[in-house]
Amino acid sequence: MVKRTSIDRKGSRSDKSFRPKKRKPPLRPNQMESETTYTSSAAKKSSGQLHEVSYDPNFSYCILQFTAVFAAISDCVVCRTCGGDIKFLKSSSRGLGFKLNVFCTKCDDNIQSVPSSPLINTAYEINRRFTFAMRLLGKGLKAMQLFCGVMDLPSCIAKATFDPIMKNIEEASTVVAKASMKAAAAEEVQESANQDKLESSQNGIVVSGDSTWKKRGLSSFFGVATLIGYITGKVIDFVVKSKYCEACEDHEKQEGTTEYESWLESHQQDCEVNHTGSSGEMEADSAVEMFQRSLENYGIKYEYYIDDAETKTFSSIMNAQPYEDLEVKKKECAGHVHKQNNNESLNSKIWKIAPKCTPDSKRIVDVATNIAVCTFNDGAEALLRMERLLGITIGYEGYHYCLGTNANRLKHARIEATNATKEARASCRLERNKQQLFIEKEGVQYGAEMGD
Ligand SMILES: [Zn+2]
Ligand SMILES: [Zn+2]
């Protein structure tokens, strides 16, 4: 092995003999930002629990005009070693992140390097945070590029970086949503035991089903079916069904060719289509799926199903006989308006995060439903839980924003709950009047769903 000469930071030369060492090639910028190990190992460690989230009171971001600010600082400071002028330079720019180098013009030395944001292994935290924030607003890569352009921020992250970041968001949101629904199921069991609203033995809980659709043209492409606990009003399970796969559509023209056959084989496991029947069947199939996994997921049975809409969902559940020793029964619901409003707010949350106008992908609908479900169940604190798993530092502003949002939400929920109790006691005629009032006040039109 040849002897190599290395130059250390101070510029003095030293001869060292090197053992032949296998060196990994340095990561390219996109690879550095595509880091996914942090979230997957944090997800494993979280073990399905709803964790308390703390924050760092000294952490926050600000936007500043780089040249003006650092030119002004340069004018005021000198090098500690030689008294020379100090310059501030950017390097290692990736998306919104960069390294700030403090440089002495006289010693020609890089005195200090500070990352502009914390690093998650190799990735700048700010890029992950930015992608997450935009997703919450229902926006993707194009909107991020527009935002950066208009804000005069450095050229935004690439598609190659965006996809792994979305994968992290998918993983973090799945873990938090699962933990949230598990806790909601346990709460529902507890509450029904406390309130004894079941008027029966404690064989299982009461759930209601709902579904919402993302349409393109006249047909539905994505459906989200949910099960909601009767007493808590929280989502305890959901299924996302897709009749659409972008990759399949792209390859449609090649159908019948040998290339297509080999592509299809490799595509099977990634294909996003998981339903082929009608939308009505989608709701029924999803409900059956959720009943069949209640014991495995939560160790509980759903004894009553609230079916207002007279769909075939209930008969599908009956036919599937999800429990060996328990027959699922149908239950009429008195708090109809309350339930309707609850479902509306969950569904609108989902489609705000995955707007009906964005490019179609089941993945986006999965992520949107995860986020909508856990914020619906637990409020903005769920966002902090996801940020924690993503490796995003929770600072003062972020933490207090969520606390403030939660306080408002709880106040609103208390008013809603009081109304719901009143409504449950009221006669059908009163209830119908209230519906009318609500529609007039909010200007909401439910169409056929409410027109009973
Ligand atoms: Zn110097
Ligand atoms: Zn496909």
Q: Which of residues 378, 411, 443 is at a domain's end?
A: 378
The whole model's pTM is what? 0.83
Q: What is the pLDDT of residue 89?
A: 93
What are the tens digits of pLDDT across the range 279-309? 778 889 999 999 999 999 999 999 999 976 6
| 273 and 332 both lie in a single domain | yes
Determine, yes or no, domain membership for 267: yes
pLDDT score for 452: 30
Does 369 fall in a domain? Answer: yes
How many whole angstroms from 252 Cα to the centroid of ligand 2?
Answer: 10
Residues 365 and 217 in one domain: yes
Q: How far is the CA of 78 from the centre of ligand 1 (A)?
A: 8
Q: Please check whether residues 85 and 185 belong to one and the same domain.
A: no
Q: Does 224 reside within a domain?
A: yes
Answer with the one of 359, 378, 397 that is the final residue of a domain. Answer: 378
pLDDT at 6: 43
Domains: count for the chain: 2
pLDDT, tens digit, for every residue of 234-256?
A: 999 999 999 888 888 888 888 88
Residue 133 CA to ligand 2 center (angstroms) comes to: 29
Report which bound ligand comes closest to the CA of 81: 1
CA of 111 to the centre of ligand 1 (A): 8
In a domain? residue 261: yes
Q: Which domain holds residue 80?
A: 62-116
Alpha carbons 322 and 204: distance in angstroms, whole number? 12
Strand 205-216 vs strand 302-306: parallel, antiparallel, or unpaired? Answer: parallel
